[in-house]
A and B are shown apart, each in its own frame.
Chain A
Amino acid sequence: MIFAEWKPVEELVEKLKGRKKILVAGCATCVAECAAGGEKEVDTMAPLISMGLKEKGIDAEITTVMVEKQCEYEFLDDIDAKVKDVDAVLSLACGIGVQAFAEQFPDTPIYPGVNTSGLTVREETGVWASRCAACGDCVLDETFGLCPVARCAKSLMNGPCGGTRKNGKCELNEETDCIWNKIVDRAEARGELETLATVRKTKNWSHARHGGPKKIVREDLKQ
């Protein structure tokens, strides 16, 4: 899922201090899963903003709304009246949701309340780890289901770097596994170590960020 974390609250209060009527908008999908922009977080953020502004001598009216998916325009139609009634929106959705919101309501200033930082898996309660970099050219079949793009600090495609620690950890962080060490372990366990010696096709990075903004058109679905 898309992972996001709250921006520092003091930074948000500072940015919002010129606003009198603020709508805090949550999103019930990914950011709710990662406890950054769900109903509970919206209800936590609203009084914080209110108190932070009061501390600066500003009495702002803070309202809240939950959107099923801020990245889908049809869900945003439902909150039209609420948005028109405020002079700023603090969105706790991911960067996609914030932009969809801004496109739908171009006249209303919108502030992102979270920093969107990756595509993660929840390893345990309160712990998320990166799993996908949305590179657009998946090689997970060749790397035994472990992504070297997202999980190697250098996104190396052909094996570990020289900095891998003897205990199989990354040179940048002793708590992070060297993903290539894990790929080799898994290949070995499956008895397919020799497949890693195969010369593979060069990865096509043009589908990733390096190729500029992406737009995907599916003619079979397009109306």
Chain B
Amino acid sequence: MNTATETKSLNIAILYCKNCISGDKSIHLSTDENGDFTVKPVMLPCSSNIQAYQLLRILDKEADGIELVACPGTSCEFMVGSCRAGKRVSYVRELLEKINVNPGRIGVSYTSNASVDDLLEIAANRAKAVNTLNQ
């Protein structure tokens, strides 16, 4: 993970449900305009497909922050996918708190018909949260 002195190069992983994206499902994002962070987008068939251990592994080795992007609860194609995703993020946040690691490194957003710009904004907000909490 980057330290407070390296806030210019945060790695943010955006794990998004393919059903909450409009248009082309495979998104390519790299850095924001200011180069404050890089984004790694990962498409999921459903936001509930990601497990707590995978989120932790990403936080440990690959990213400074994670945003899990899920469909709003009522529009989840698999009925309970978004709900499960939210629970897993809460669980991971609880675990991070216990080991004194910033729980703000992970969050969940609920959206539908999101564009690339929307995802970038979500990533920017997560980067901001990670940055703020790092300082």
Contacts and interface: CB of A to CB of B under 8 A. Distances in A.
Contact of A48 (B54, B56, B61): B56
A10 B53 contact: no
B60 interface: yes
Contacts, number: 43
Nearest to B57: A47
Interface of A: 8-10, 13, 40-41, 43-44, 46-48, 50-52, 54-55
A47 B99 contact: no
Contacts of B80: none
A58 B91 CA distance: 24
A10 B96 CA distance: 10
Given A43-B57, A47-B57, A47-B60, A52 B99 contact: yes
Interface residues of B, number: 16
Chain B binding surface, main DSSP class: helix
B133 interface: no
Given A10-B100, A13-B99, A55-B100, A50 B60 contact: yes
Contact of B53 (A8, A9, A13, A43): A43
Interface string B27-66: 0000000000000000000000001111011011100000
Interface string B89-128: 0000001101111000000000000000000000000000
